Amino acid sequence: MTAEPIRKVCVIGAGTMGAGIAAQVANAGVPVLLLDVPARDGDRSAIASGAVAKMLKTEPAPFMSAAAAKLVEPGNIEDDLARVAECDWVIEAVIERLDIKQGLYAKLEAVKRADCAVSSNTSTIPLAQLVAGRSEAFRKSFLITHFFNPPRSMRLLEVVTGPDTDAALAGRIAHFADVGMGKSVVRAHDTPGFIANRIGTFWIQLGINEAIDRGLTVEEADAVAGPPMGVPRTGIFGLVDLVGIDLMPHLKDSLTATLASDDPYQAIARDIALIGNMIARGYTGRKGKGGFYRVNREAGKRREAIDLASGEYRPQAKPPPVRGVLKALVESKGKLGEYAWALLSHTLAYAASLLPEAAADVVAIDDAMSLGYNWKAGPFAMIDQLGARYLAERLAAEGRAVPRLLALAGDRSFYRVEGGRRQFLGLDGAYHDIVRPEGVLRLADIKLGTKPLLKRASAALWDVGEGVAALEFTAKMNTLDGEVMALLGEAIPLVASRFKALVLYTDADNFSAGANLGLALFALNIAAWGEIEKLIAGGQAAYKALKYAPFPVVGAPAGLAVGGGCEILLHCDAIQAHAELYTGLVECGVGLIPGWGGNGEMLARWQAAPGLPRGPMPAIARVFETVSVATVSKSAAEAKALLFLRPGDGISMNRDRLLFDARARALALAEGYTPPARPEFRLPGESGRVALGMAAQGFHKRGLATDYDMVVSDALATVLSGGGADPAETVSEEQLLTLERETFMRLLHEPRSIARVEHMLETGKPLRN
């Protein structure tokens, strides 16, 4: 699509949502005017500038970089509204009051350009009401863009257009929201609550009602309504704590006011005394004094949960074990199984009844729930797990209404794979291909029609088209082991002979958590030193073979890419990263140092970095500062600042576009490709190590580094300064690898390193010994 680019955006309303949306526009590299009402005294734009200042202190950060924050220009709607004329898109995110929104639109109509889109972030007010009284020209430019909180990380954007909305303009906005802001656009119809919140609110209300009525504890309810249903661990009560309990009555009032009187939600909507009391006492969830769960600081940070009957807090109980297979769960006897059936059957039936009212097809509904509520499977994918006929028959047996769509499906599933393509059941009773937007490529889709070129226990190689192969990691958390290294060894000649380029990519949330520490610990415990050294040497050799392979290699990481997962990226010719990239060399946290060539690669990058003073120390000091404290980037933009990414590396805002973009980058490098030259280092040797040690000593004295941190950072300093190197001579890449490996092995013999590894495996947190 060659939509006209969006050059400037205005966001009106600097509350949490408006400010967060403005930040995400800025993260896309587009300037934003953020307006709110004028402050009563002092700086008239203080409300908007205060929102920006607050975001700079918020964790997780709404901004991906300091540069993005500078793109937001605060203003106020009295002095600056005319500047809307500079903008291509105005996003209204003011309070949910029709009169206020309508009044604002009337003013906007007078100042905006005709080709400037106006969208509302309303979550409850129908589009038809919003544009009532506006000109045809305004109605043509108007749509609803419903973002989810927080706008940086929540991928769902529900887009609602009206009968008068200009399709090309809506397409332009949707394209920018997708490619620029990284949102997955789901088209929803103009119905109350749109898709995700309509189903989500029903599910939450039902989950609370049923838990109270059936006498379940919050722990029991969340154990059922969480991972066994493919729902995040927060389940229902934990989710309400997260989004804010005080939001519940507002959602209920809004939906009961706007939904038809025979909508099933009307029957379950009720005021719950417990919730009213909690809100009145300030127990509004995690943002307040606590919610259904709380951490009682007066009782030594004890985790507590509320008793749904008495409203009193009590120590949190261990959740009951709940089986993971959906059908077995809803068929199991006892209150947990019955709760699961009640919750699921009503929610799934409700979802099935919303087509075509709320959306065009099942894919839109499932996408909305997986992207907006982080459900692994949307309602229709869950129905497929149970069987549409099973659900229909059990509903009928209980004398409940069977949605027309379930009857239409009969024995069929809502999704199927046909001829290597994923299809969905349309409302016309026929199957249709799921068509991905142009520029979206999923490995999961490719896998439907092909077999891997190579496969081992923890990695596989795929043909992803256009002469490009993709190597994916497949172990838990995509950890790396000898099998990955062996597959790399096999992949290189195969790619060299049959492909133009290689991409390192996985559909998983996390690119790689690094070396498989569990395996390493096992080898340590049986003192298999030879095996471990072989794994280190093998990894070093495999990564260097990748670096000097006769074809370009493009890393395409998303999510976590740490330790060995970061090191493999450092060996790539280029990176196409998802904007949400958390990468770093974190080995020091487990008492080790990078062992697969990461030290040399980082040194080479910093030594070549412009703007750094000359001489042997500046590059070394920067790498030491970054690696000794296990720095992890909080975005791809930050990874660039840390040089884990090179300045020219690409960033894809939309996760779904990552593989496609990486493949294109790889192909662009393939023409006339020559492998990089081997770097030579000029390192200071012992005096550099002493200098770094002095810096570390300062941290130790200030109580910021532990005794063992000093041992580990000294090992790192030894490698980075080249061991016994003399600054008058050069150190080869090979010599540096040997030093890295020997130093790594030396640390492995330290009991305190092993204690760190064990602790990380047991708790997921670093041991500060």
Partner 1 sequence: MKSAVITGFVRSPFTLAGKGALARVRPDDLAAQVIRGLIGKTGVAPADIEDVILGCAFPEGEQGLNVARLVALLADLPLSVGGMTVNRFCGSSMSAVHIAMGQIAVGAGEVFVCAGVESMSRVPMMGFNPLPNPVLAKKSAAYMSMGETAENVARQYKIPRAEQEALAVTSQQRAAAAQADGRFAGEIVAIAGKAGTVDRDGTIRGETTAEALGALKPAFDAAGTVTAGTSSPLTDGASAVLVTSEDYAKAHGLPVLARIKAVAISGCAPEVMGLGPIVASRKALARAGLAVGDLDVVELNEAFASQALACIGELGLDRERTNIDGGAIALGHPLGATGARIVGKAAQLLKRGGGRYALATQCIGGGQGIATVLEAVE
- Nearest to partner 1 of 247, 609 (CB atom): 609
Q: Which of 233, 209, 214 is nearest to 223 (CA)?
A: 233
Cα distances (angstroms) measured from residue 23 to each of 61, 67, 84, 429: 10, 11, 18, 43
> How many angstroms from the chain centroid is the CA of residue 347?
26
For partner 1, the closer of residues 135 and 697 by Cβ is 697
C-beta closer to partner 1: residue 60 or 698: 698
The size of the chain, in residues, is 769
Using a 10 angstrom Cβ sphere, with 0-12 exposed, 13-18 middle and 19 or more buried, the burial of residue 260 is exposed
Q: Smallest distance from the beta carbon of 15 to partner 1, in angstroms? A: 31
- Least distance in angstroms from the C-beta of 146 to partner 1: 42
Residue closer to partner 1 by CB (options 228, 693) is 693
Closer by beta carbon to partner 1, 434 or else 695? 695
Question: Smallest gap, in angstroms, from Cβ of residue 700 to partner 1?
Answer: 9
| Smallest distance, partner 1 to C-beta of residue 743, A | 17
H helices present in 672-732, as ranges: 686-701, 707-720
Least gap, CB of 692 to partner 1 (angstroms): 9
User: Kind of pairing, strands 468-473 and 553-555?
Assistant: unpaired
| Of residues 655, 627, 597, the one with CA closest to residue 480 | 597
Q: Which is nearer to partner 1, 182 or 684 (CB)?
A: 684
Q: Rank residues 578 and 689 by Cβ distance to partner 1 and give the closer one.
A: 689
- Indicate the residue type of 350: Y
Contact predicate 327/384, CB 8 Å = no
In whole angstroms, give the CA distance from residue 365 to residue 158.
Answer: 11
> Smaller CB distance to partner 1: residue 679 or 727?
727
- Min dist CB 696 to partner 1, Å, is 12
CB-nearer residue toward partner 1: 282 or 698: 698
Quote the least distance from Cβ 604 to partner 1, whole Å.
Answer: 18
User: Least separation, in Å, of the C-beta of 623 and partner 1?
Assistant: 15
Nearby residues of 530 by Cβ (< 8 Å), 6 or more positions away: none
Q: Which residue do the tokens 């096992």 mark?
A: 522
Angstrom distance (rounded) from CA 363 to CA 382: 12
Could you report how far apart the first and last alpha carbons of the chain are, in Å?
55
Question: Quick one: 595 or 688, whose CB is closer to partner 1?
Answer: 688
CA distance 10 to 82: 11
Q: How far is the CB of 719 from partner 1 (least distance, A)?
A: 16
Give 69 or 683: the residue with its C-beta nearer to partner 1: 683
Q: With contact defined as beta carbons under 8 Å apart, do 593 and 712 qualify?
A: yes
| 186, 193 Cβ separation under 8 angstroms | no
**In the complex, which residues of this chain contact partner 1 (CB under 8 A)?**
613-618, 684, 686-691, 694, 697-698, 701-703, 727
Strand-by-strand arrangement of the 72-76 sheet:
72-76, 32-36, 9-12, 89-92, 117-120, 142-147, 156-161, 184-187
Q: Residue 548 or 699: which CB sits closer to partner 1?
A: 699
Q: Shortest approach of partner 1 to residue 585 CB, angstroms?
A: 23
Q: DSSP readout, 70-126?
A: HTEEEEETTTSGGGGGG-SEEEE---S-HHHHHHHHHHHHHHS-TT-EEEE--SSS-
What distance separates the 2 farthest-apart alpha carbons in the chain? Answer: 88
CB of 698 to partner 1, least distance (A): 6
Instruction: Tell me how far, at minimum, the Cβ of 688 lies from partner 1, in Å.
Output: 7
How far, CA to CA in Å, does 550 sit from each of 496, 542, 671, 753? 6, 14, 12, 38
- Rounded Cα distance, 367 and 350, in Å: 16
507, with CB counted inside 10 A (0-12, 13-18, 19+), is middle
Q: How far is the CB of 683 from partner 1 (least distance, A)?
A: 11
Nearer to partner 1 by C-beta: 662 or 717? 717
Nearest distance from C-beta of residue 691 to partner 1, angstroms: 4
Structure tokens at 283: 């127990």
- Smallest gap from residue 622 Cβ to partner 1 (A): 11
By beta-carbon proximity to partner 1, the closer residue of 439 and 727 is 727
Strands of 421-425's sheet, edge to edge?
Answer: 415-418, 421-425, 431-433
Q: Whose Cβ is closer to partner 1: residue 490's or residue 686's?
A: 686
Two tokens, residue 255: 């939906």
